[in-house]
Chain A
Amino acid sequence: AQSVTQLGSHVSVSEGALVLLRCNYSSSVPPYLFWYVQYPNQGLQLLLKYTSAATLVKGINGFEAEFKKSETSFHLTKPSAHMSDAAEYFCAVSGVGETSYDKVIFGPGTSLSVIP
């Protein structure tokens, strides 16, 4: 069973516009949550992670995400898109559903395009 869903396999925004990438998880117990970014021909890089210390998590490159238990969501936002933000974004979880705490399971990904 899929533990992570990302609404929208492809999102396009204009340069300078708000970026919103959606992530929902399926668990009654708050899992560990992550956002990773993958640029072309590269491995994945951590943007931010939810550690239960705060529901609003700030990451690198101006990204942030808000954990909402009631909505089982962990959406990623950035106030102003830059051309260099064009990449594939993966939401990931560990310690939920079929996963053990040694497994990080990735969502299907959202490809972000930034239009000049």
Chain B
Amino acid sequence: DTEVTQTPKHLVMGMTNKKSLKCEQHMGHRAMYWYKQKAKKPPELMFVYSYEKLSINESVPSRFSPECPNSSLLNLHLHALQPEDSALYLCASSAAGATNEKLFFGSGTQLSVL
């Protein structure tokens, strides 16, 4: 299994809602990532988990809260988002730290904040 699975594929939420994005991989990868991608733009790194510990937080607002419950799962909890947070949220994994390892990406969650 060489897939990274993201759910849901689409999400519409109001600014007062709380929702979560889920990412799962069963490749035994020990590094997992959240990226945010606006239309026609490159992915922007948000968080990196290495061996289930948060190793990089790219100064992301606290309304985004990551969680890595185990080595296969990565969540992104959303609360009180703003319309400008509407974007494609991509999860990725790699065997270890990025270095020269291949990143495996999920298909993303398209988030719309109303």
Contact = CB atoms under 8 A, between A and B. Distances in A.
B107 A42 contact: yes
A102 interface: yes
B100 A106 contact: no
B62 to A, nearest CB: 21
A104 interface: yes
A94 B42 contact: no
A44 B72 CA distance: 20
B97 A102 contact: yes
Chain A CB count within 10 A is highest, among B41, B100, B105, B107, for B100
Interface string B78-114: 0000000000001010000111101101111000000
Contact of B42 (A51, A101, A103, A106): A106
A55 interface: no
B55 A94 contact: no
Interface size class of B (residues with CB under 8 A): 20 to 34
Given A102-B48, A106-B42, A106-B43, A43 B108 contact: yes
A46 interface: yes
Contacts of A109: 40-42
B103 A44 contact: yes
Chain B CB count within 10 A is highest, among A103, A104, A107, A108, for A104
Interface string B48-73: 10100001100000000000000000
B34 to A, nearest CB: 12
B74 interface: no
A46 B103 contact: yes
Given A101-B97, A102-B50, A108 B41 contact: yes
A105 to B, nearest CB: 7
Given A42-B108, A43-B4, A101-B98, 8 more contacts: A32-B98, A43-B92, A50-B100, A51-B100, A102-B31, A104-B98, A105-B45, A106-B42
Interface of B: 4, 31, 40-43, 45, 48, 50, 55-56, 90, 92, 97-100, 102-103, 105-108
